[in-house]
Amino acid sequence: MNPYHSFVSRLAQLLDEFRRYPPAAVESHARPVTAADAPRVLLFSPHPDDECLTGVLPLRLAREAGMNVMNVAVTLGSRKDRRAARLEELKHACAYLGFGLIPTGPEGLERVTPLTRAQDPAHWRSCVETVAKILALYQPGVVFLPHAQDWHPTHIGTHLLVMDALSLQLPRFSCYVVETEYSCTMASPNLLVEASEVHVGELVTALSFHKGEVAQIRPREPAGVTTRQRPARRRACLRPRRGSA
């Protein structure tokens, strides 16, 4: 076996080892206190755990710029029997990161996909109104959402949902929109966000609270690696969005 085979084998072993780690303790980290008048950031997450998978820049904005980051739980997943548990897991993950948590409902929104937008306009309009109310209430300066080609139907649906809500011309509201990638890479990103080992460690620690999802990780799946020599980076697309005055 050449050194490259050994390298891949060790990565697979590390991933399998990660599956067996217990969730971290929320109280194990002292999070900074956010000022009451801090600028607000809304991170629209299609599923519980996406706040960890795409949360590098929100985490840096919270830790380095003192911004008030709140995770909007767009859905709680498709399995109704897991939703209550996933919400509890999400609460712990957000608490560890120091993110606020905004549920879109007791069980999240249903059928947030492009197909629903095309075939069930009444249901879609109701979902858009829910998001619009959140935007109007919190008046964020920055909004995070998946990009329009992020492969997974709920990721693409979340993009369309938030953009439709922003298009309602909410009064006295303007913000920056940051598109993130996870399921599929962007064609033309214009922002590359560096993540140190500390940042990645924090996000992976928070991810450990999503026990049900971590348990599904298989040791032979591809895994991203951060080394001391080359920090990991997450791409994004940043553009201003201006509402009516």
Per residue in 196-244, pLDDT (tens digit) is 999 999 999 999 899 877 766 554 444 444 433 344 456 666 655 544 3
Round to whole Å and give the CA distance between 239 and 175: 9
Q: Using alpha carbons only, what angle is made at residue 213 by residues 63 and 123, rounded to the nearest 5 degrees?
A: 85
pTM, two decimals, is: 0.83
Average pLDDT of the chain is 86
Q: Could you report the per-residue pLDDT of 44-93, keeping only the tens digit for each?
A: 999 999 999 999 999 999 999 999 999 999 999 999 999 999 999 999 99
The whole-number average pLDDT for the span 101-119 is 96
24, pLDDT greater than 50: yes
| Alpha helices (runs of H) in 98-196, residue ranges in sequence order | 114-119, 121-138, 153-166
- Are the CB atoms for 50 and 168 separated by under 8 Å? no
pLDDT of residue 237: 64
21, pLDDT greater than 50: yes
pLDDT of residue 2: 86
Handedness of CA 130, 136, 139, 144 (dihedral sign): positive
Tell me the sheet residues that pair with 70. Answer: 42, 100
Tell me the sheet residues that pair with 71. Answer: 43, 101
Q: State the amino acid at position 24 in one-letter form.
A: A
pLDDT of residue 107: 93
Lay out the sheet containing 142-146: strands in order across. Answer: 100-103, 68-73, 40-45, 142-146, 174-180, 232-242, 191-195
Q: Using alpha carbons only, what angle is made at residue 173 by residues 169 and 178, rounded to the nearest 5 degrees?
A: 90
